[in-house]
C-alpha cells in the first residue's frame, strides 16, 4: 500500500467514475487482486472469484450489457436497436481495466450462503482501498444488469454463483470528490454496564 496509512486510505477513498484510457500495470492489477484475496471469510472458504478484463477482453462484458438492454426493449428494431446496443456496450470500455468479482459459495457443512457474499463484498472493499492507495481511480458498479442471467453467462458462472461487483479501474480523470459522512455516533448504540 506504499506509505499511505490505513485510516487515510479508508477516509480518502472515493468512487472515481472517470478514468483515462491509458493502461495500468499488471503489477498494480495483481496488487489489487492480492488485496481482495486476503479478505476475511467464514470457515476460510475464500469464495471470491476475479475476472480481469483489459483491451478486447472487455467485449464479453460489452456484449452482455447490450443483450440485457435489448431484452428490455423488444420494441426497438433496426438503427434504433443498433444505437442502443452500441451505447450499452460502450459502458464496458469506460476504464482500461474492469474486474468482475463473483462469489462461489462453498457447499461445505456449516457454511451459510449469505456469509459467503459478505466475504466477497469484503474482498471488493480491500480492492478499492488498495487501488486508492496506489493512486488509481476505481468505482464499484453494480445494478440490475449485473444480476441478470446473461451476465452470469458472460463469466460462465454456475447456478449457485453470483456476481457481486464490477470494479472499473484506471488513472483518475476527474477531480477527487470531497467526502461526506454523518457522524458514526448517529448510527451507534453503546451497550455497557
Residues tagged in the binding site annotation: 13-15, 42, 140-142
Grid cell for residue 49: 472469484
Residues belonging to the chain: 193
CA dihedral 57, 62, 63, 69 (to 10 degrees): 170
**Residue 65 · residue 88 · CB < 8 Å:** yes
* Cα–Cα nearest to 149, from 139, 163, 138, 135: 163
Give the residue ranges of DSSP H helices in 5-92. Answer: 6-12, 26-37, 59-72, 78-90
Asked if residues 170 and 95 have their Cβ atoms less than 8 Å apart, the reply is yes
Sequence-ordered strand ranges (E) for 89-136? 97-103
CB atoms within 10 A of CB 46: 17
How many angstroms separate the CA atoms of 121 and 51, rounded? 15
Binding residues for FMN: 13-15, 42, 140-142
Amino acid at each position: 500500500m506504499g506509505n499511505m496509512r490505513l485510516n487515510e486510505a479508508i477516509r480518502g477513498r472515493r468512487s472515481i467514475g472517470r478514468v483515462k484510457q491509458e493502461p495500468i500495470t499488471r503489477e498494480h492489477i495483481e496488487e489489487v487482486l492480492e488485496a481482495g484475496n486476503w479478505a476475511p471469510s467464514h470457515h476460510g472458504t475464500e469464495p471470491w472469484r476475479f475476472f480481469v478484463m483489459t483491451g478486447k477482453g472487455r467485449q464479453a462484458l460489452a456484449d452482455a450489457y447490450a443483450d440485457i438492454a435489448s431484452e428490455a426493449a423488444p420494441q426497438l428494431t433496426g438503427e434504433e436497436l443498433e444505437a442502443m446496443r452500441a451505447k450499452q456496450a460502450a459502458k464496458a470500455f469506460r476504464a482500461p481495466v474492469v474486474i468482475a468479482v463473483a462469489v462461489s459459495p462453498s457447499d461445505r457443512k456449516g457454511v451459510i450462503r449469505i456469509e459467503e457474499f459478505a466475504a466477497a463484498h469484503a474482498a471488493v472493499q480491500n480492492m478499492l482501498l488498495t487501488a486508492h492507495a496506489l493512486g488509481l481511480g476505481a468505482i464499484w458498479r453494480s445494478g440490475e444488469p449485473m444480476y441478470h442471467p446473461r451476465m452470469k453467462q458472460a463469466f460462465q458462472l454456475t447456478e449457485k454463483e453470483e456476481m457481486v461487483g464490477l470494479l472499473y479501474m484506471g488513472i483518475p480523470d476527474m477531480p477527487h470528490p470531497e467526502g461526506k459522512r454523518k457522524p458514526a455516533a448517529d448510527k451507534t448504540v453503546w451497550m455497557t454496564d
